[in-house]
């Protein structure tokens, strides 16, 4: 028996019913069209219906596909799907800790759109994922541009060591994607929301010079959560260091204290930090690669960053300058 063209067997009313979409539809809709078409035809007898011209069928199906694509984009943008797509596309090291904004978090100025697709605060360390896009059509952004980003928590700017990583530059849409981490002061209080302010977009030239082709103000508010608590220590001796406060998060270790290094030529005038973490049931002595911070005459504050997430449940100790400090 010759196969029927299932779509052509539907009445105009049935076709209109099949082509009525909602934002909740997904990529499975094309298969749903086929399934629903078969169900419509094989259900109980309906009144005689006139055959719809093939041209109209083709145009209706094309409209349905366009509507499906549009509704999928809207659905992703309004339900947090943007972060999921971002993470699946770039697979950033710390993406699992970010949460999507509760509402679209973007701002536009001078034809440059800056959007926050995810953020998180664990202890004093803040993680954000942002995108820069030139929506003017002039393609003014390059892979060498980075936003001069300020982050505010509880109305106070977070000043501290930061790590900025460009994840991708999409030439077709003139969009740059970034992962950024910044460590605030020790014992920084938690906040439900963060304010991200960009006052300029810098460009690193090939000669090493930095210029700022865009100046202005881009302001975005994003939310965080209380999902993960850091491991903390206080008042710990570690050789010639005295650690007043130490915090370990999946992002790295934050250490604040005093040192007894003298100013004599034969002695270091700044503290030397060799920080490792010890894990159970895995490899041991995983070294944290580096960080930054401030050093003064007898005190210091450092954030030692990690290149990959630290599993806090598997940590048994932190080793600072050879001194083993157990989990409290």
Q: Report how many domains make up the chain.
A: 3
- Cα-based torsion angle of the residue sequence 85, 89, 90, 95 in order, rounded to the nearest 10 degrees: 30
Whether 216 and 147 have beta carbons less than 8 Å apart is answered as no
Structural domain includes residue 84: no
Rounded distance between C-alpha atoms, residue 196 and residue 44, angstroms: 59
- pLDDT value, residue 73: 38
Above 50 in pLDDT, residue 80?
Answer: no
What is the rounded CA–CA span in Å between residue 258 and residue 8?
81
Q: In this structure, are 206 and 290 located in the same domain?
A: no
- Can you list the pairs that 278-282 forms with residues at least 24 positions away whose Cβ atoms lie under 8 Å? 278/315, 278/316, 278/317, 278/318, 278/319, 278/324, 279/311, 279/314, 279/315, 279/316, 280/314, 280/315, 280/316, 281/314, 282/314
Asked if residue 218 and residue 105 are part of one domain, the reply reads yes
Residue 1 lies in a domain: no
CA of 257: how far to CAs of 182, 233, 327, in Å? 19, 12, 18
Of 190, 223, 256, the residue at which a domain comes to its end is 223
- The secondary structure of 178-201, three-state, reads EEEEEECCCCCCCCCEEEEEEEEE
Query: Rounded to an integer, what distance in angstroms lies between the CA atom of residue 273 and that of residue 247?
Result: 15
Q: Which of 183, 205, 223 is the last residue of a domain?
A: 223
Residue 100 CA to its chain's centroid (Å): 8
What average pLDDT is seen over the chain? 79
Q: Is residue 37 part of a domain?
A: yes
Identify whether residues 203 and 270 lie together within a single domain: no
> Are 252 and 307 in a shared domain?
yes
Which residues, at least 6 apart from 312, have a Cβ–Cβ distance to it below 8 Å? 228, 230, 231, 248, 249, 250
Query: Which CATH number characterizes residue 265's domain?
Result: 2.60.40
Q: Do residue 215 and residue 142 come from a single domain?
A: yes
Measuring CA to CA, how many Å separate 253 from each of 224, 282, 289? 20, 19, 11
Domain end: 47, 78, 109, which one? 78
Based on the domain organization, do 153 and 216 belong to the same domain? yes
Q: Are residues 102 and 213 in the same domain?
A: yes
The pLDDT value recorded for residue 266 is: 61
Whether 159 is covered by a domain: the verdict is yes
Question: Is 0.85 topped by the overall pTM?
Answer: no
Q: Is residue 306 part of a domain?
A: yes
One domain for residues 198 and 303 = no
Mean pLDDT of 287-291: 78
The stretch 71-91 carries a mean pLDDT of: 64
| Diameter of the chain measured on Cα atoms | 102
The predicted-structure confidence for 268-280, as pLDDT tens digits, reads as follows: 667 778 899 999 8
Residue 183, domain CATH: 2.60.40.1630
> Are 113 and 197 members of one domain?
yes
Q: Are residues 213 and 241 in the same domain?
A: no
83 in any annotated domain: no
Residue 2 domain-assigned?
A: no
Q: Do residues 93 and 211 share a domain?
A: yes
Please report which confidence band the pLDDT of residue 290 belongs to, taking 50, 70 and 90 as the band edges. Answer: confident
What range does the domain containing 62 cover?
A: 7-78
The answer to whether residues 98 and 71 belong to one domain is: no
Look at 90 and 280; give whichever has higher pLDDT. Answer: 90
User: Helix or strand or coil: residue 220?
Assistant: strand
What are the pLDDT digits (tens) for 173-199? 999 999 999 999 888 888 999 999 999
Mean pLDDT of 49-68: 52
* 277 in a structural domain: yes
């Amino acid at each position: 028996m010759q196969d029927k063209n299932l779509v052509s067997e539907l009445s105009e009313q049935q076709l209109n019913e099949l082509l009525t979409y909602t934002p909740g539809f997904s990529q499975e809709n094309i298969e749903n069209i086929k399934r629903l078409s078969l169900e419509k035809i094989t259900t109980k007898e309906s009144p005689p219906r006139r055959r719809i011209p093939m041209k109209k069928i083709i145009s209706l199906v094309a409209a349905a596909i366009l509507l499906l694509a549009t509704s999928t984009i809207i659905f992703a943008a309004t339900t947090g799907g943007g972060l999921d797509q971002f993470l699946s596309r770039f697979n950033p090291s710390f993406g699992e800790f970010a949460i999507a904004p509760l509402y679209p978090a973007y701002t536009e100025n001078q034809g440059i759109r800056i959007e926050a697709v995810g953020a998180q605060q664990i202890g004093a360390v803040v993680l954000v994922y942002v995108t820069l896009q030139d929506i003017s059509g002039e393609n003014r952004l390059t892979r060498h541009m980075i936003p001069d980003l300020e982050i505010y928590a509880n109305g106070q700017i977070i000043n501290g060591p930061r790590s900025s990583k460009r994840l991708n530059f999409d030439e077709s849409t003139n969009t740059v994607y970034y992962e950024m981490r910044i460590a605030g002061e020790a014992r920084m209080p938690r906040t439900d929301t963060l304010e991200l302010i960009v006052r300029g977009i810098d460009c690193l030239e090939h000669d090493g010079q930095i210029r700022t082709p865009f100046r202005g103000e881009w302001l975005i508010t994003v939310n965080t959560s209380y999902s993960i608590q850091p491991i903390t220590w206080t008042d710990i001796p570690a050789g010639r260091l005295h650690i007043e406060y130490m915090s370990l998060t999946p992002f790295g270790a934050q250490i604040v204290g005093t040192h007894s290094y003298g100013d004599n030529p034969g002695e270091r005038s700044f503290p030397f930090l060799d920080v490792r973490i010890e894990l159970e049931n895995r490899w041991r002595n995983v070294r944290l690669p580096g960080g930054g911070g401030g050093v003064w005459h007898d005190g210091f504050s450092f954030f030692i960053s990690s290149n990959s997430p630290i599993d806090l449940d598997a940590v048994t100790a932190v080793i600072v300058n050879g001194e083993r400090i157990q989990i409290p």
